[in-house]
Amino acid sequence: MSSNPNSPRAIALRYISHARFHRHYTHPATADHDSLTVTYADAGSTPSPATPSPPTILFMPGMFASRYLGVFIHAIAEKLGVRVLIVDRPGMGNSSDVPLDKRLSIWVELVPRFLAHLGIDHVALVSHSAGTLYLLNTLFHCRELLHPERPFVALLAPWVDPSHSHVTSLKMAQYVPVNAFSVWNLIPKFFLLKAGPAFTSSGVAITKTSNVISSGSIFSSDGGNDTELERNRRQIEAEYGLSRDVQAELDSLMLQFMFEESTVGANSEALQCLRKGADSGKMWGACNDYGAYVKELADLERRRHRHTGEEKLKVRAYFAGNDSMIGKTGQEYMEECWTCNTENFKDAFDFETSTFAELNHDSVVQSAEVLKSIFLQAGGGLSNESQ
């Protein structure tokens, strides 16, 4: 019996198979590495004669999300008139893997060349969870890529070192031998495809794995809210035209597509997030110490503003009310780093934070409300809505 081409499953399959979610770029060889294949999604607004350069966001997702995050971003971004690029980091999708100690340096090298290849002069930077490390290094080393009239950065559920977040399960994970992480990417594959239906995009499976060690359960850690998930799906259906049933099918298809490709890069990113392995004190690059990073960034922003007269950098942080990966302590630490508790940075950049009580570490990145806020502040919007 042939399947119904108009069923939610069939529509979702055509949707996720669209070429916009499966693009390739070849990063040229250098003295330090061979040429690298990079896969990425180009979601949202498409350049056209009427709008040749739509506001563009470089979105750095969490540990396991990869470019498939664009599947949920696309409908919202398209309606709000922004283009969103989501790049598979090394070892994810069909992107070439690279050694752990070169992940950040190659990323910083890649970004300007990748954008130049696409003819893009300026972007806003957005990250989720483990992508925080990549955003902060991009901001530090490639500041000229931000739009001079609306330089904008957004941090969703930003990653915090367990030594500052004090999340017990992650502190436990820091004691797992380094060699065990060589198969780390296979554990969530089992949990998410066979043992649990919910898609987790940023590494919440770290917590679930730790709970297996301590309690034998994988369903107890992230405070999932099915009511909020359903509300969000209905909002996306009503405001952005992607049906609720298709969204539900996309949830499982994203897992299927993602794990049919490589996820080996997650092994390195788990080590990176936990600061495990050789040269662990250097694997976060420019943001090895968040507090010191923000102070140096503030000095750079002050000098930049004096010399160029550009608009002040806008930084927005979005936190989940129920976050098993960084907890309230991690949120407070991050907020303290960016405000220094004395408001000494207000002349350097405009920082604001928002907390969404009903969301968790992963649902914050699929929240229509959060994404709309980000896209409008990055320059999108079909009306004169307040930004």
Residue 223 has pLDDT above 50, yes or no: no
Answer for the pair 144, 156: CB distance below 8 angstroms, yes or no.
Answer: no
pLDDT number for residue 195: 46
The token pair at 21 is 């979610």
Three-state DSSP at 84 gives: strand
- pLDDT tens column, 24-62: 999 999 999 999 999 999 999 999 999 999 999 999 999
User: 358: buried, middle or exposed (CB in 10 Å: 19+, 13-18, 0-12)?
Assistant: middle
Q: Are the beta carbons of 145 and 123 closer than 8 angstroms?
A: yes
Higher pLDDT, 27 or 340: 27
Residues with Cβ within 8 Å of 316's Cβ and at least 6 positions away in sequence, in order, are 152, 153, 154, 155, 351, 352, 353, 354, 373, 374, 377
Residue 124: strand, helix, or coil:
strand
Query: Rounded CA gap, 365 and 130, in Å?
Result: 12
Q: What is the DSSP letter of 354?
A: E
pLDDT at 296 over 50: yes
Asked if 80 and 240 count as a contact pair (C-beta separation under 8 A), the reply is no
For residue range 309-335, what is the model confidence (pLDDT) as tens digits?
A: 889 999 999 999 999 999 999 999 999
Specify the pLDDT at position 188.
66
Return the SS3 of 359.
Answer: strand
- pLDDT, residue 169, reads 85
Task: Provide the residue ranges of all domains of the chain, joining segments of one domain with +.
Answer: 21-192+286-378
Chain segment 183-205, per-residue pLDDT in tens: 878 876 665 555 443 344 455 44
Between these two residues, 347 and 1, which has the higher pLDDT value? 347
C-alpha 216/C-alpha 182 separation (Å) is 22
Please give the share of the chain, as a percent, with pLDDT higher than 70. 87
Q: Is the pTM of this model over 0.75?
A: yes
pLDDT per position as a tens digit, 77-102: 999 999 999 999 999 999 999 999 99
Can you give the pLDDT at residue 63?
86
Using CB atoms within 10 A of its CB, is residue 2 exposed (0-12), middle (13-18) or buried (19+)? exposed
Answer whether residue 384 shows pLDDT above 50: no
Calculate the average pLDDT of the chain.
88
Selected residue with higher pLDDT from 176 and 343 = 176
21-192+286-378 in CATH: which number?
A: 3.40.50.1820
Mean pLDDT of all residues in 338-356:
88
